[in-house]
C-alpha cells in the first residue's frame, strides 16, 4: 500500500515538473499555452540534454587531464586521506607549512594567536 502511494506521488510530481517546464518553454518561445507541439517540446528537451552532456564531458576532460578515469581520481583522494600523505609527515616531524607562523584559533570573528 505504501509503495502505491509513493509511486502515485512520484508520478504526480513528475507531471507537475514537466507541465511547468512546458509552460516555461512555451513562454520563452513567445507562444500561448498549447501552441508548442509535443514534438517541438521533445526536441527542446533533447537539445538541453545534449548541451548538458557536452558541457559535462568537456568540463570532465579539462578537470581530469592525465588521469585514467574519474574513479582513479577519487581513489587517489582516498589514498591521500587514509594514507596521511605529506601533511601527516609534516605533523609528525613538527614541520609547519608556513615555518614560523603562530597557531591561531578563530572564535566567531576574533582570532587568538
At 30-66, the pLDDT tens digits run: 888 888 888 988 898 899 888 888 887 776 655 555 5
Q: Which CA distances in Å does 67 have to 20, 54, 57, 81, 100?
A: 40, 19, 14, 18, 36
pTM (global) more than 0.85: no
Confidence of residue 103 (pLDDT cuts 50, 70, 90): confident
Query: Which three three-digit cell numbers place residue 58?
Result: 568537456
Q: Quick check: 26 pLDDT over 60?
A: yes
Amino acid at each position: 500500500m505504501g509503495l502505491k502511494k509513493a509511486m502515485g506521488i512520484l508520478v504526480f510530481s513528475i507531471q507537475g515538473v514537466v507541465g511547468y517546464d512546458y509552460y516555461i518553454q512555451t513562454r520563452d518561445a513567445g507562444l500561448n499555452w498549447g501552441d508548442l507541439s509535443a514534438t517541438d517540446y521533445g526536441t527542446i528537451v533533447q537539445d538541453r540534454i545534449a548541451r548538458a552532456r557536452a558541457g559535462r564531458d568537456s568540463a570532465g576532460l579539462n578537470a581530469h587531464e592525465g588521469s585514467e578515469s574519474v574513479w582513479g581520481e577519487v581513489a587517489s583522494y582516498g589514498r591521500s586521506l587514509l594514507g596521511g600523505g605529506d601533511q601527516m609527515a609534516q605533523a609528525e616531524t613538527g614541520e609547519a607549512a608556513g615555518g614560523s607562523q603562530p597557531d591561531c584559533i578563530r572564535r566567531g570573528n576574533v582570532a587568538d594567536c
